[in-house]
Structure 1
Amino acid sequence: MSGLYIHIPFCKQACSYCDFYFVTRQQQKQDFVDELIREIHSKKETEFTEEPVQSIYFGGGTPSLLTAKQVTSILEAIHDVFKTDLKEITLEMNPDDVSREYLSGLKSAGINRASMGIQSFNPELLKFMNRAHTSEEAMKCLEILEDSAFRVFTVDVIYGNPGQSLDILEQDLDTILQFNPPHISAYSLTIEPQTRLGKQVKLGRITPPEDDTVSDHFDLVVDKLSQSGIQQYEVSNYAKPGSEAVHNSSYWNHQNYLGLGPGAHSFWWNKGQHSATRWKNRGNLNAYLNGDWKEKTEPEELNLASLAEERLMLGLRTRKGLTKEELKNNYRFEFNERQLNYLQKLEENEKAKTGERIHLTREGLKIADSILLDLVTMTSVD
């Protein structure tokens, strides 16, 4: 089973924290859709159509800047080319694009999961993030979404912002929970160097919050959501039982996925499952419209040792973790003595469970990135 990721590059404006490829001009939307359909058709009768597609994810950018008719034409092309056994088709949307008619059109097109980029209801935080929507629009769109035919939807929220108090975060969570979402993605603000936010931090104009503050935010998110039956199943993802994201879970489980559109990444196991290839389309809309997608950009061949390291890092970010047996059978990987000692210490400090299945506890997930960095650097036995 594989997944398709469709990168829609259009945005109304640049969010201060975003480092995904996007353009703010929108005159070429139909040209882009036409070229995307050509790229989809180019995959006919290739290795990418040998296994059924179980999930499609429209990301970006802002996919909700496409019309329902354009989304329909893209999905029709996918059904023409790929074998499908679809469990989930997600489309990211911004509150200022949502109307009852639009949601109805997307549902008719086949979209069955909406991903709503709320981030916050606080006007000052929305201004800081340079979001295109207002808190009023965010409330209105959630009302429409709750009342729509979408039974599965997810809401994005960002914590760890400069100046964001626990009270502000709690108000945001309380507001979201009024709408009974089956899934929430809560991300700690990441400061990427090339973004506007990254440049302001470098110049000393913005000071990121202390680690202890971000840790308190994390605890509030986990506690508040779990009280509503929305459990953490990955560092940044929370769901009611049975509403976990199929597409994102396939990334963490190291399954094949094909990226389409400018800036989209792909990952595919080679025959025999002893190596894999990762590549991306160049992030340049004009080049894409001229057929630049025909060439893989920066293809990277990954051997089993690299893949084992990657699977370890992906798997331990999830609540269920992964088994030693899977690492041994699929990646020929076994923990060395230093790593086993380190895992034992994590267990003693109640940050991990380390039987046949290894997984991080809530306290471990809070510092997952540093734990994973420690683990993968312990490649030799003293």
Structure 2
Amino acid sequence: MSGLYLHIPFCKQACSYCDFYFVTRQEYKQDFVDELIREIQSRKDSRFTIDPIQTIYFGGGTPSLLTPSQVEAIMTAIDEVFDLQAEEITLEMNPDDVTREFLSGVKSAGVNRASMGVQSFDTDLLNFMHRAHNSEEALRCLELLQSSDFNVFTVDLIYGNPGQSLDLLEKDIDTILQFDPPHISAYSLTVEPQTRLGKQVKLGRIIPPEDDTVALHFDLVINKLEEAGIMQYEVSNYAKLGKEAVHNSNYWSHVNYLGLGPGAHSFWWDEDLSSAQRWSNKPDLRSYLKSDWEQPFEAEFLDIHDLAEERLMLGLRTRTGVSIDELKNRYQYSFNPDQLQHLKHLEYDEKAILNENIQLTKKGLKIADAILLDILTK
């Protein structure tokens, strides 16, 4: 099985923290859809159509700026080119775009999972993030989602914001839980250098919270969601049993995926499974509309050692961890004595569990990036 990622590059405005490729001019939307369909059709009878498609993800940007008929046209093109056996088709949405008619339209087009970018309900925080929606729109769209035919949806939340208190975060979590979401993605605010936020931090106009404060936010998110039966299954992702995101889980398991649209990334194993390639389309809409997707913008060859370290890194961010046998048999990777000693220390410190799998505990997932760096540099 494999997955498709479709990058829809349009946004109403630039969020202060976002470093994904986007444009704020809307007049090329139909031209983009036409070009995306041409890119989809170009893959017909290629190596990318051998595997059945298990998941499709409309990301961005803001995919909810497309009309349901545009989404349907894209889905029709996919169905004509690929062996579509999709278990999960996700479309990212912003609250200010959502109406009952929109939800019904994209559901009829084949979308069966909605990803709602709420981030917060607090007016000051939404203004700080430079979000296009307000608190009332977020509440209204969640009411619409809860009463719609979407029985699987996810809500995004951002914590670790400057000036965000634990009380304010708890209020956001409690508000989300009123709508009984099957899945929540909760991200710690990340300062990327080229973003508006990154430039403000560099100039000293904004001071990010201390690590200890962010850690308290992380603990609050885990504990509040766990009490509601929404369990952490990856560092930033929480779900009720059986409602975990299939598409993202496949990323972490090294399943093939093909990215379409400007700035989209792809990952594909070579036929003998001894290496893989990762590449992207150029993040430029004007170039994309001239069919520049015919040549990869950035291509990276990954040998089996690169893949092993990446699989370890991705797997240890999840609650299930990574199988020692899988590392050995599929990736030809074994831990050296220093790594084994370090893993034993992690187990002693109750940060990891060692059996057939290597798993980080709740305590370990809290500092997963630091643990991974320590393991890989031993």
- TM-score range normalised by the length of the shorter chain: over 0.9
What is the total number of aligned residue pairs between the two structures? 378
Give the distance between the partners of 1:365 and 1:347, measured in 2 at CA.
13
Q: What's the offset of the Cα at 1:235? A: 0.2
- 1:343 paired to 2:316: no
Tell me which residue corresponds to 2:144.
144
Task: Find the aligned partners of 1:205 and 1:337 in 2 and give their Cα distance.
Answer: 47
Residue correspondence of structure 1 range 17-32 to structure 2 within 5 A: 17-32=17-32
What's the counterpart of residue 62 of structure 1? 62
Structure 2 counterpart of 1:193 = 193
In structure 1, the residue corresponding to 2:163 is in which secondary structure?
A: coil
Q: Deviations over 1:93-113 (max 9, x none)?
A: 000000000000011000000
- Superposed, which structure 2 residues align to 1:171-210 within 5 Å? 171-210=171-210
Give 1:352-367 correspondences, 5 Å limit. Answer: 352-367=352-367
Alignment-mate amino acid for residue 57 of structure 2: Y
| Whole-angstrom distance in 2 between the partners of 1:211 and 1:299 | 35
Aligned AA (1:46): S
CA distance in 2, matches of 1:5, 1:371: 30
Cross-structure match for 2:107: 107
- Tell me the distance in 2 between the aligned counterparts of 1:376 and 1:241: 32
Q: Work out the CA distance in 2 between the residues paired with 1:52 and 1:216.
A: 43
- Offset of 1:354 from its aligned partner? 1.2
Length-normalised TM-score, structure 1: 0.99
Q: For 1:319, what is the secondary structure of its paired residue? A: coil
Distance 2:290 2:377 in 1: 42
Question: Residue 299 of structure 1 corresponds to which residue in structure 2?
Answer: 299
Please give the per-residue CA displacement for 1:78-124, whole angstroms capped at 9, x wherever unaligned. 00000011100000000000000000001100000000000000000
Cα distance in 2 for residues equivalent to 1:152 and 1:324:
33
Alignment partner, residue 310 of structure 1: 310
Residue 37 of structure 2 aligns to which amino acid in structure 1? I
Partner Cα separation in structure 2 for residue 288 and residue 375 of structure 1: 40
Q: What TM-score results when the alignment is normalised by the length of structure 2?
A: 1.00
Aligned-pair CA distance for 1:374: 1.0
Structure 2 CA distance for aligned equivalents of residues 3 and 317 of structure 1: 20
- Give the 3-state SS of the residue equivalent to 1:299 in structure 2: strand
Q: Deviations over 1:316-375 (max 9, x none)?
A: 000000111000011000011111111111111110001221000001000001111111
Q: Which amino acid aligns with 1:161?
A: N
Q: Does 2:8 match 1:8? A: yes
Q: In structure 2, the residue corresponding to 1:30 is in which secondary structure?
A: helix
Amino acid across the alignment from 1:303 = D
Counterpart residue number, 2:46: 46
d(CA) in 1 for partners of 2:160, 2:106 = 33
Residue 298 of structure 1: how far off its partner (Å):
1.5
Aligned to 2:262, the other structure's residue is in SS state coil
**d(CA) in 2 for partners of 1:356 and 1:111?**
37
2:282 aligned with 1:282, yes or no? yes
The whole-number CA distance in structure 1 between the counterparts of 2:326 and 2:175 is 41
By how many angstroms is 1:252 displaced?
A: 0.3
Q: What does 1:225-236 correspond to in 2, within 5 Å? A: 225-236=225-236
Structure 1 residue matching 2:308: 3-state secondary structure = helix
How far apart in 1 are the matches of 2:375 and 2:53? 33
| 1: CA distance, partners of 2:213 / 2:9 | 34
Amino acid at match of 1:319: R
Partner of 1:256: 256
In 2: Cα distance, 1:363 partner to 1:205 partner: 33
SS at match of 1:16: coil
| Superimposed CA distance per residue, residues 208-265 of structure 1 (whole angstroms, 9 cap, x where no aligned partner) | 1001100000000000000000000000000000000000000000100000000000
Once the two structures are superposed, what CA deviation does each residue of 1:183-204 show, in whole Å capped at 9, x if it has no partner? 0000000110000000110111
How far did 1:288 drift? 0.0
Aligned equivalent of 1:224: 224
Q: Is the partner of 2:278 in helix, strand or coil?
A: strand
In structure 1, the gaps of 5 or more residues are: none
Give the counterpart letter for 2:266 in structure 1. Answer: S
Q: For residues 285 and 116 of structure 1, what CA distance do their matches in structure 2 show?
A: 24
Give the Cα separation in 2 of the matches to 1:217 and 1:120.
14
Query: Which amino acid is 2:52 matched to?
Result: P
Once residues 39 and 85 of structure 2 are traced to their aligned partners in structure 1, the CA distance between those partners, rounded to angstroms, is 21
SS of equivalent residue, structure 2 residue 339: helix
Q: Distance in 2 between matches of 1:74 and 1:66?
A: 11
Partners of 2:295 and 2:377 lie apart in 1 by 34
Tell me the amino acid that sits aligned with residue 19 of structure 2. D
**Which SS does the other structure have where 2:330 is aligned?**
helix
State the Cα distance separating 1:376 from its structure 2 match: 1.1
Q: How does 1:65-144 map to 2 (within 5 A)?
A: 65-144=65-144
Superposition RMSD in Å: 0.4
In structure 1, C-alpha distance between the alignment counterparts of 2:326 and 2:125, rounded to whole Å = 43
Question: Aligned-pair distance for 1:178?
Answer: 0.2
Structure 2 Cα separation of the partners of residues 359 and 297 of structure 1: 36
SS at match of 1:331: coil
Give the CA deviation at 1:133: 0.1
Cα distance in 2, alignment partners of residues 129 and 208 from structure 1: 13
Matched residue type, 2:119? Q
